[in-house]
Amino acid sequence: MTVQPIRLFGDPVLRTPADVVTDFDKELRTLVADLTETMMDAPGQGLAAPQIGVGLRVFTYHIRDGGGTGHLVNPVLHFPNDEEQDGPEGCLSIPGLQFDCVRREHVIAHGQNMYGDPITVEGSAMLSRAIQHETDHLDGVLFVDRLDGETRKAAMRAIREAEWNGEAAPTVKVSPHPTLGRAR
């Protein structure tokens, strides 16, 4: 397990849809371990592979207060109802900033674990928010894209003024794994 550098807002990898995982091998297990280690070190409540420069549909999550710790590969989300939640949301790729963001209250996420076995994660409140947030990363969407007009303007202004804005992208190792090795 290795703590990896987290890509920041403005890095093109964050806007690129991730590829479906097809190889469930040691390289994927290493990626999940690195994501978990990096997320816990940050600390954060979730981290998607594109945030460390890997264009694969994988994320980890760690929700305090009973939400648990886990990962999902190739997630597909289903919403059992239209109930929404509105609350503060942040992102490790947009450090130090939080804005109110509307999300669905409940989610059922179907996917696979790092071994390729089918899994389902069902959650409400913070777990639901984290699963939606991380799945957005896999589609090249950031939470600021989901903000209403005035809040989005304030968020973009805060990002422009953030001391980390404009920092060079970190150097990220390229894996020999056939699906992990896509240059980004």
In the annotated binding site for Fe cation, the residues are 91, 133, 137
d(CA 10, CA 15) in angstroms, rounded, equals 8
Q: Is 84 a catalytic residue?
A: no
Is 109 in contact with 131 (CB distance < 8 Å)?
A: yes
**Of 27, 83, 134, 161, catalytic:** 134
Point out the annotated binding site: 91, 133, 137
DSSP classification of residue 144 = G
d(CA 143, CA 35) in angstroms, rounded, equals 19
Nearest to 29 by CA among 138, 112, 139, 144: 112
For 23, 81, 101, 102, 125, the CA distances from 84, given in Å and listed in that order, are: 35, 9, 10, 7, 9
Nearest to 129 by CA among 77, 93, 56: 77
d(CA 16, CA 19) in angstroms, rounded, equals 9
What positions carry a catalytic annotation? 134
